[in-house]
Structure 1
Amino acid sequence: MTASGYPKIELHVHLEGAVSPPALFAAARRNGFPLPVATVEELADFMRFRDFEHFIEAWFATTPALQTEQDYRELVVDYARRAQAHGAVYLEAIFSPCDKLDQGISLDTVFTGFTDGVQAAREELGIEVRLTPDITRGVDLEVAKRTAEHAVRYKERGIVALGLGGLEAQFPPEPYAPAFEIARAGGLGSVPHAGEVAGPASIRGALDALHADRIRHGVRAVEDPGLVRELADRAMVLDVCVLSNVRLSVVDSVAAHQLPRLLAAGVPCTVNTDDPTFFACELDEEHAAARSLGADPRALFDAGVAGALCGEETKARLRAIADGFDWAALPAEPAAG
């Protein structure tokens, strides 16, 4: 069925964090953006995760090279091609329009480029991509509302939800409720980051104030058994990123990850790359890590279908892919050590 063993759904990948070094290098050349290195090889090494401080340094030294509609369109197609090679049959991808405003790049440029990429991925690769732009925590609340309004405006071009990203511990979700009300009134879903570097209160705020349809990360829910039961009762899908959590010291190791406890409690979980270029983890590697913790590939796929915010026609095609695949024939993954 796929080049990498079995079909996958990915619902949590930051496109700026997935840009390939060659594509980023080419964009920097086109746009006259000064990179801190001289070759693609040096760029790949510079972008590779070392620690959180270096990740932030590398992010802000490289991703602002992406400035034009062409850059954003190509970014979608480039990652869709990579994910497809690892078995992805459907993607919901994140971009951060607020971050571009300080560079003088308009929201229209950003939204047009990324949504053009949705169409290009469909035409060139035959893969369905949907987009979930993030409000960056800490931006002016008027900017947050403008971002929500643009997301609604581009709904027919592949935008399916509004997200909230950035510094979770410093900026709780509640103040962003007006922006999410705009999105909800316009027919979009709610997919905030919560429960990654902050605890259960962040998840509770995402549920109560932002009316989350899905939680990005959510792994720290295990600190509150009552919240875990509620997530399971609500069939609230969590976008889990095992290797990202290890890289960012949310957990000490793959073996210590919260995923088995969430699955045992009946919380549906998907597996995702988060920022695959920076964290050096492609979709196959994330799945291998999750399977080493006992995750079942078919259950991960089914959670992806349940959590996806596409239309019913697309969901029906995804279910047909799952029903047509021989999941029982997959070899077992060695347990995490």
Structure 2
Amino acid sequence: MASSIGEPYDVVEEARRHGVNQHLVRSMGFRTLHRAPPGVTTTEFGVAAASAAMTKAGLDASDIDFLVVASGNLPEYFHWDLSTAIARDLGLRGVPTLSLSQGCLSAVLAFENIAGLFATRGEVGTVLHISAERVSDEHVNRLGNGTTADSDGAVAAVLRRGHPSLRWLASEQLTDAAYADFFRLEYGGNAAPVPPAGRSNRDVDAGYSIFRYFDGDAERFSAYAEMTDARIAEAVDGACKRAGVQRADLSQVILLHANQVALRNAAGALGIPLERTNADLAASLGHFGGMDPLLCLDIYTDRGAFRPGDLVALAGMSSGLHWFCTLIEV
């Protein structure tokens, strides 16, 4: 595995520069976010991470049988495929590709898709999996209303048939389509291609939109928030059941990089101490969308944080709404 991330910026200083409530930002616990240098694209992040991962594995373009690319943010262009752009720039001529764009779950659930490739295509022995995310600052405020700190970068993993370490065991996905419109961008799609005069997606507070969905009823909103945490735990248990293990067998649960309040709530629902999550890394990295768990897995692996046989859960919640988990055996 290898990663390529943007330049670090102090979150509180960024909040001050952009007129976001600094006290709220401090209470959310993010310390650093990572922003792409001017002109650096999602494609370039993906190519940099992939090139580093292949070099680390001692491979070149001729060794890759299939490319899988996950990205949940706005694409660089419409009617355009990120996976083929990355394949072109990596020199993967004739290599089939798959693009996954189902929000923050795509990168983690891609392991199940890749397991399917290994099961159904005997000629596929090596898959390159890339998760790349870059915030479109013209469309969204990467600090949101002070409760997040979105970052830019990519992480790549080389997956080999029958490899003895970092093995995929099982994945689980839960979906509640009643909340399909949560977290959507209002303008730019074919329903509303152009915003009204004086409006933009940056004017839409997703958190307030969700609260409005519950007619401002604080109790219903709180019940929804508790439900989202409980369903993360349910997804983890579902993956554990598929793998024939228990939640207590997990060495660590690596979650999406939500703020520290949300991470504490998720840890509470899982019944684990915050130290058995990636909360500290999340605070120092910012939220990279769906690549969060893979980025942390890369960092922890490089640090030698795991022992052979450790079980690690990659889990979180995505727009849709979906809850997901993939189990990896170190």
TM-score normalized by structure 2?
0.31
The answer to which structure has the higher strand fraction is 2
TM-score normalized by structure 1?
0.31
